[in-house]
Structure 1
Amino acid sequence: MQSYHLVRNADGTAELTLREREIPTAGPGQVLVRMRANSVGFRDALVQAGDYPLPVLDDVVAGCEGAGEVVAIGAGVTRAKPGDRVALTVFPDWIDGPFRFEYAAQLGGTRDGVLAEYAVVSEQAVVPVPEYLSYEEAAALPLTAVTAWNALTGGRRILPGETVLVLGSGGVALAALQFAVVSGAQVVATTSSGAKAARLRELGAHHVVDRTEHPDWATAVRDLTGGRGADLVVDVAGTVADSLRAAALGGEIAYVGYGVGGTGAAAPVDARTLFDSGVRIRGVAVGSRAQFDEVLRAMKVHRMRPVLDPKGFAFADAAAAFAHHRSGAAFGKVVITHDTP
């Protein structure tokens, strides 16, 4: 079998390196998955740049998002059987409840990832894929969709008619937009691209604020909400000061990250502004297997499909898929397909 590994450079960055090795064997409590698709996201770019907050082992198998078919099971396995279509959880040990340090082991970090032709994981780390989703669609869900779901439901659950503000058009933002729409929320999205603005409206955004036309987008959001502000802000950019100005009194900011915010991202926030806003800021880092199960149930009810970038890649071209994502040209999840039987 072949697998892609992250080989550390002296400067802390990592190169994607293809290796050939023996197909692993499923031990007790484990399943062997023939991977059929993977997806690439901003987390992978951070790992390659040496800027990821969690540990990443040298020469670890890359990738934390994938889906495939169970082809063998170890002794004692009851949650899966050969032939099952499954997606894999990003944090294999995080089954339910709040995140704890002992759950921090992550695929493609301190455990081998899934950018490989075969992967062995604990039976606790797989979830069944609804029959209507392709492997490519299922592979787009473990990181971004679960993070978006956690952002919307893990803290202040949004009520129908309330306003959700989604920043940007990355994978988490698009999934949050879709989930917020089906929840009955009024959705405001921001973008810096006219073409992407049209796509955001097609996905159901009720209002789109173009940051090139409205640099003070927080004020624009308040104007759109009659001065109230957004009840929930899904902040994937790290511009917390502006998110506070855009949020409603007593609202919440689901703080997903700061790496894509550019200038001003993760800048200090004035304590008086934070206090006066009455807003809760909640850090969001993916989610548990139980939340992944909730994602799939909700998607099945609404027959939802994730947004995939139209430029798909073969397994042999994984490096090109990573480069395409880093270019910023993608709209939707960048997907890698395994085309061999």
Structure 2
Amino acid sequence: MAPSLTLLLAFASSSSPCIWAVPGAVIPNGSSVRIFCRVPPGVTALRLYHGEPGGRWHERLPEGAQDVVNFSLPKVTQLDAGKYFCDYWKQRSWTGQTELLELVVTGIYKDQPSLTAHPSAQTVPGGNLTLQCQPVSRYDTYILCRGGGDSFPQDCSPQSHSSFLISFVSLDQAGPYTCYATQSISPHLWTLPSNPLLLSVKLSLDVSTAIVASAAAAFLLLVLLLLLLLLCLRRRRGKRSMSRGAAYDGTKGQMRHESSSPPVLIHGESEDHDAQGAEPEAARQRDTLVPLAEAPQEVTYAQLHPVRPRAGVAPLLSQDPEACVYATLTLS
């Protein structure tokens, strides 16, 4: 197995104790491995336990502010397989146990299983696939590992039968797979690995065509909606411009009509005009001559009713409709 760098919980907080193995937790028989322990500040002693608490352990003393300590196993054997954890001494007690690391040694059993895919190693998303691990019949536990299987049990799935069903295959499940076999009484001692099986998950031609067609239809619909929106905005702006032009033309026509109208001379009843003959002519002209409006928007039309002072009580309004006169008033 090609060595690779696998750091379990590499992004954990420096104050949180954790443990991991390099190049991985699944190691061929006779290879070397290093086990790392991360501890919080203030630790004065560190132990790497193999098995249950009180079993075999290796001890290290952190140097200065060192927060990561490693333990090297130069040549692993079946005796090195099993569970590991770190414990550290702080504030006069061993109180800082980490989580467990399960170290697996492969090649203890010299049998090599074979791994096959049914119906095929090439499939499409959403389908069902069976991976068959075929070892010698004397094993009762089968392990399917994805990728290099460097982390156990994170990257590997053990079970009591040799058929591994993958339902609703997805694109992210593509890649190399390897299987092992072992005995349930020694779950950390495995056979030799099978030859890697490359699982290929690809979109079918029909699915790819449908996706491309859907994307193209969605794009065309978006473009059409944008064009309709631009057309509506343009028509709305055109209507606003036409209404403003019509209002401006109406205002100019009204100004021309009022500028050509002569002053309005107000005439009362004939007998009232004779009776008021003593009134100076200049005063009458000043009262009856209404000048033109200087601004069209300030022109106001009013209905005038001539009233003649009489003795006694008389109605204020004239009953003769012809006596009503309209005049143009200018508001200042």
Please say which structure displays the higher CA radius of gyration: 2
Short-chain TM bin: under 0.3
Higher relative contact order by CA 8 Å / sep ≥ 6: 1 or 2? Answer: 1
TM-score by length of 1: 0.22
| Larger strand proportion of the pair | 2
| Larger helix proportion of the pair | 1
TM-score by length of 2: 0.22
